[in-house]
Each structure stands twice: as structure tokens, then as C-alpha cells.
Amino acid sequence: MGKKAKDNWSLFNEWLIGYPLNNKGDVDLNKTYFIISTPFGVLAVMTENKWRKYQELTKEEIEGYLRISEANLVIGVYFLGDKIDFAKDYHCVIKIGDKIIQPTTVENQYVSDKTDSWPSSPAYEALCVYCFPTDDIPRDAIIQVITIGDKEETFTVDLSKIR
């Protein structure tokens, strides 16, 4: 996986939801997008990260990543805004049917990163990470990921289609 990922980020597309590519294949900096971490996805990314350092995952690392990722559905949301601290109070929930699931852990980026369009809008991008207990989320569920910031956005995700 790692060797192929060097020049082919499309290998990670199934974990990128709403990834903002325009018709030319360039990133559209006006859209929220996020990454869903599944056990397989975590291993794919960690393998790719190790490969870049000419290393391999150890059995202990694999077991540790699987243990953590099987207990939590982690969603990393990339928000865009115009103030350096715009995302400090942003939130994310999962909705399955009528049930709303709150994250057990929230890690918002208080100091956002400059975008390539800085100082023009959107000037900043923030990665906010939300951990949800997998006890409440069937692995094959169709979920709605609702991001709450300056505006509320809803993304429908079929978990059965994500390894």
C-alpha cells in the first residue's frame, strides 16, 4: 500500500468524504471535507507514513492501531474560515435514524493554518478531530455526519462501502 501511495493519493479516496476536487483535479478551497478513520484506513495511512521513512509497521504497532481504531470511529473534519481561531467552538455529531451520537472526545484546532489563498478568503483551514464510540455505530450503517460551525452541513456516509 505505501509504495503505491507515493504517487496515487486516490488510494485513500474511500476515507475522504466530500474531498473538494474541481473538474480540473485541483482542490476547491470553499468546501468542508473530512476523513473517516476505520481500522483498515488507519493501517493504510500508517503504512504509507512508515514507507516515507523507509520503515515498516511492527506487529505491536499494528495491534495497537487496530485496538484503538476498532473502539472508536474517528472523524477528522477540515473546516475553512477567515479568522485564525474560527474553529475553536465547532462541533460534529453522527446521526443514525433518529438517534444523535455525540463524540466522546473533541480536539478542535484553536490556531488554524493559513491556506494557499491567504489573506484572501478562505484564509484559514482547521483540522478538528471527533471520536465516536463504535458501540453505538453498526459497521455497516448509513450515517449522517453533521458538522456544525458558521453553517451546518450534512454528509451521508455508507460505512459498509468503506474498508
- Helix (H) or strand (E) holding 78, with range, is strand 72-81
pLDDT for residue 1: 39
**Full set of structural domains in the chain with CATH:** 2-161 (2.60.40.10)
**Backbone torsions φ then ψ of 11, nearest 5 degrees:** -60, -25
Please state the rounded mean pLDDT for residues 126-149: 89
Per-residue pLDDT reduced to its tens digit, 66-109:
777 677 888 888 888 999 999 999 999 999 999 999 999 999 98
Predicted model pTM: 0.73
Q: CB burial class (10 A; 0-12, 13-18, 19+) of residue 29?
A: middle
Tell me, what DSSP letter sits at residue 7? S
CA 94 – CA 107 distance, rounded (Å): 16
